[in-house]
Amino acid sequence: MQSRKTQSQDLQAGFRVGECLIEPRQNRIVRGDTEARVEPRVMDVLVCLAQRAGEVVSRETLNEQVWGNVVVTDQAVTNCISELRHHLGDDRTHRIIETIPKRGYRLTAPVQRIDAPASGKETPRPGGEQPSGRQRWALPAAGLVLLVAILAGSAWWWKTTAASSLTSVAVLRFENAAGDDKLDYLALALPDEIATLLTKSRDLAVRPLDYLDADDPLRSARARGVDHIVSGRYYLEADNELSLAIEAQQVEYDRVVWRTRITVPSDDLLAMRRLITQGVRQGLLPALGASTTAAPAAIPTNGEAYQLYLRSIALPKQPKPTERAIEMLEHVVALEPDFARAWYSLGLRYYDYGTYGGGGAPARQRSLAAHRKALELDPELISAAREIVTHLSETGDLENAFVEARRLLDRFGSHAETHFASSYVYRYGGLLKESQRECELALKLDPQDPRLRTCGYTYMYDGELSRVTRWLALDEGSYIFQWGTVLYYLRLDDRNAALRITRQAADDETRRLMEPCLEGASGEVLDAFVGDFMRRWSGAGDPEAFYAVAPMLLYCGRPQEALQMLERAVDTNFCSFPAVDRDPVWKRLRDDPEFQRIRTKAMSCHDNFRSMVAAHSQAS
């Protein structure tokens, strides 16, 4: 009997499920004269079921085999199954994937392995069919769209020609083997230093620190499409020396491609930083197949400032620790005014304090100033440039946000960060198709970038609900994933699915309203929660948040409060048009005079933005 691993390898060459041709390597499902490309994780679910055709496959098995035991919501599995049923032609009269209550799923259709196609040739289509006329003309049509954009005065977008995908790398938390709790902060601070150096290479896509499951990072990396992982451990030697061992592992072949050991006096973290920088530039980057980065704009020289900076990195992103981190970083930049990374970190902390804490608009303005200072000191700090675009968009300064997005593209060319920044500005101004184009370009460059989750909202507002979940799933388990999925199901009027996700969310003002609302509580019961919900979201610094949460109020029988939030979004330059016409959530209010009044304001906001974009494009 073949092992599961051997079966999986055999199936990768292609197989049939009933009348459908499955091509795992191309993530393609062909049924009759139609074909669909699915996300790799959706295909992995199908392969897992096909390996066990006729058997019940539990959700736990799917989680282990597909997600590498990364904690994901039940809805993540359900979404994959629903998409597969759609592409396989599964319905109540022709069941292909059967749900076994409280146990899992079973693939009931016969599975037939096919031979791998000859090298360099595509897998033949069923019946020797040729691509449809629409498929043959797909590329010329895309070229025509580009030509029209150029004729409209947008020649600068030629710079967005997509490059090949980036090499992805995740840096794990380091192990504190020193036996000294006072050194715990280095478990976060040292890998952050390495990740910062790696982000300087335009050949790499660096994942967030806790992107992978720490208990089994290799399996998790395979499940999430990460190419390399970097790990490390540090410990104390004799004579009060601090040693750091680092290694990089290639995920596909489970092979160590680089390792080094650094030893310095435990009180000389500046020496540690210099040696880490040298090791990354001379050893790690070449081992990852990446180009060597430029030297940092300014290297810190004050030991006290640098240690304080490292300690601030390790503080949690919660209100009180964030306030403490701001105090520390303000002291750091006073001691080291040319330390660009400290200014950047200060900008992030001020943003969190202004958006989620009690800092409000003044803190957000300090955040913008700090990011501008960071970019001035280090013009290669692309993340600071992108944060500036985000700030300007969220404060309603859409013209300057657009100008900065163009400047970002001019400076860095086609990059996931540049396209993501542009998509953000376009979404705020209501150019939803342009925003989607930028999202797709970013995804082509970095297919697993978790930040692109917010692109799901661009499609949601445009009424293209079938394209929402693939974006949200880029960051499964996150706050945006959870509530974005709830909003998706509200638009489908699927109360039960929305309730399942809501019950998995953290206890806050949003859950305290939505859970009883979705359970069918009376208006009197909901009255106790609506006020807290309104206060929570009325204080949000991001105008898109006003638009995003309005459907929750509408679904819970509060149309006037929903319209208040919608108008607040428009008044703060989240234009909301043409979303108010295309987003299905507003269907029952479109004849309301108050809605029509707000729609007129939204249209004016959108028209002003569109005219501004056209003027800048013609001038360039």
Quick one: average pLDDT of 201-224? 92
CA quadruple 108, 110, 111, 117: dihedral positive or negative?
A: negative
pLDDT at position 602: 98
| Model confidence band, residue 92 (pLDDT cutoffs 50, 70, 90) | low
CA 131, 134, 136 angle in degrees (round to 5)?
A: 50
**434-438 average pLDDT score:** 98
Per the DSSP assignment, residues forming a β-bridge with 248 are: 230, 258
C-alpha angle 355-359-361 in degrees, rounded to nearest 5? 70
What are the pLDDT digits (tens) for 316-332?
Answer: 999 999 999 999 999 99
Dist CA 107 CA 130 (whole Å):
29
For residue 618, what pLDDT is reported? 87
Q: How far is CA 133 from CA 28, 125, 126, 130, 137, in A?
A: 19, 15, 17, 9, 6
pLDDT band at 4 (very low <50, low <70, confident <90, very high): low
pLDDT at 365 over 50: yes
As beta bridge partners, residue 99 has 105
Rounded-to-integer distance, Cα 150 and Cα 208, Å: 36
- Note the pLDDT tens digit of each residue in 503-545: 999 999 999 999 999 999 999 999 999 999 999 998 888 999 9
pLDDT mean across residues, the chain: 88
Q: Note whether 235 and 177 are within 8 A (CB).
A: yes
In terms of Cα–Cα distance, which of 149, 111, 137 is closest to 21?
A: 111
Reported as a single tens digit per residue, the pLDDT across 140-158 is: 443 334 333 333 333 333 3
Contact, 290 vs 280, CB < 8 A? no
Distance separating alpha carbons of residues 186 and 180, to the nearest angstrom: 11
441-475 pLDDT, tens digit per residue, is 999 999 999 999 999 999 999 999 999 999 999 99
How far apart CA 342 and CA 308 sit, in angstroms, is: 10
The residues, ordered by sequence, that sit 6+ positions from 11 with a Cβ below 8 Å of its Cβ are: 22, 24, 47, 50, 51, 113
What integer pLDDT is reported at residue 73 of this predicted model?
Answer: 62
Q: Which of 62, 60, 40 is nearest to 51 (CA)?
A: 62
Structure token digits, residue 463:
């009424």
Single-letter residue type at 357: G
**Is residue 198 a contact partner of residue 169, using CB atoms and an 8 Å limit?**
yes
Say yes or no to pLDDT of 115 above 80: no
Quote helix, strand, coil % in the chain, to nearest 5.
60, 10, 30
Q: What is the DSSP code string of 27-40?
A: TEEEETTEEEE--H
Closest CA to 533 of 555, 128, 467, 253: 555
Distances in Å between the Cα of 14 and the Cα atoms of 43, 389, 460 are 11, 44, 33
Element (H, E) at 47: helix 40-51
More confident residue, 457 or 478: 457
**What is the H or E stretch that residue 75 is in?**
helix 74-88
Global pTM reads 0.74
133 versus 172: the higher-pLDDT residue is: 172
pLDDT at position 186: 98
Question: What is the spatial distance between Cα 488 and Cα 516, in angstroms, rounded to a whole number?
Answer: 18
- Between CA 375 and CA 343 the distance in angstroms is 9
d(CA 218, CA 226): 9
Selected residue with higher pLDDT from 60 and 427: 427
Strand 34-37 versus strand 15-17 pairing type: unpaired
CA 181 to chain centre: 33
What pLDDT sits at residue 239?
A: 86
